Amino acid sequence: MHIITEQQINTFKKFIDSYDNFIVVGHKEPDGDCISSCLAIATLLNKKGKSYQLVSAGPFKRPEIKVYENMFAKEAIILQTEKKQGIIILDCGEFSRVGDIFPSGEHPETLNIPTFVIDHHKTSLFDPNCSIIDSTAPATVCIVQQLYEKLEGIPSKETSEYLFFGLATDTGYFRFLDEKSKNVFMAAARLVEYGVNPRQIYDKMTSGKPFSSRKLLGIMLDKAEQYFDGKLVITYETMEDTKKYGFDGRDSDSLYQLLLASVDVEAVVFIRQETEQSCTMGFRSKDQIDVSQIAVKFGGGGHKNAAGCSTPGIINNLIPKVIKEFENLF
């Protein structure tokens, strides 16, 4: 993780000083990092005397973030007053990933509302004059924490808990960090100094999962198949599976963890049939296997060891295409 520069801090400060009201939004189908980043930026804006709208297209599928759903509106309100309005997009490097949060399905570009992006995804492509993007940061909250500390000082215990929760969820409770993560651990230590109880955050992340999620997990494991001498594992969830166990039964994080713990496995692909014509795909890997380059081939993106996409197609047709793309990695 890089330490953000004075120039980046000043660029963001200039942006928030220039507007009275902000739309704070992350990617659709939010995770802990996305929600936590939005909440922490909202508290910073509040400290600066700015008004804001917390917006998310949802759905809030993950049980650990359900508690925050009522804090977010599903649609942004475009001000028709003299007040200047800006948009802050967090944990998201593409306008299309925000979802339908604007009237008539419009996007920030067509609405001509000034936008600032804070993100940590490798595939983010935004003008550095209106963004802070650090693909070496394991979570967007790492960037947000630095901005908060530089612009406002020590965050409250509640804000510190938002930040720690986002970091913990996006790093698998620090399991995905390596020897280059000194700055990340130092940032986490500061949050503990500010009053965060790590054990409580862990319990919040891992408890409260419905029994249906354990049943569905068993089905996903049963469907898993190995390729390239066991280095690649692919499994899937059909629409029938979703109908039977519901959205609350989803727990892909546990699925990835279990499969990557298997002997010889270096990468895992999880395909979910979302509609009759489209699927989402999640990619996870170990060490030097860069799955973001595979996700890009299907219109997605992400990080070296964690990426995803939404793509047209059905499971049976996508599996051979995915295998073919992995030929160059194995």
pLDDT per position as a tens digit, 191-235: 999 999 999 999 998 887 788 888 999 999 999 999 999 999 999
Residue 252 has what pLDDT?
84
H-only helix segments in 23-64: 32-47
Confidence of residue 325 (pLDDT cuts 50, 70, 90): very high
Mean pLDDT of the chain: 91
Tens digit of pLDDT for each residue in 174-191? 988 889 899 999 999 999
Tens digit of pLDDT for each residue in 21-44? 999 999 988 999 999 999 999 999
Walk me through the domains of the chain, giving residue ranges and CATH numbers: 6-204 (3.90.1640.10), 211-326 (3.10.310.30)
- 245 or 320, higher pLDDT: 320
Tens digit of pLDDT for each residue in 232-251? 999 999 999 988 887 665 67
Residue 209 has what pLDDT?
77
Residue type, 144: V
Are the C-beta atoms of residues 126 and 133 closer than 8 Å to each other?
yes
Are the C-beta atoms of residues 177 and 137 closer than 8 Å to each other?
no
Q: Global pTM?
A: 0.83
Share of the chain above pLDDT 90, in %: 67
* DSSP symbols for 184-251: HHHHHHHHHHTT--HHHHHHHHHS---HHHHHHHHHHHHH-EEETTTTEEEEEE-HHHHHHH-GGG--
Instruction: Report residue 25 as tokens.
Output: 């939004």
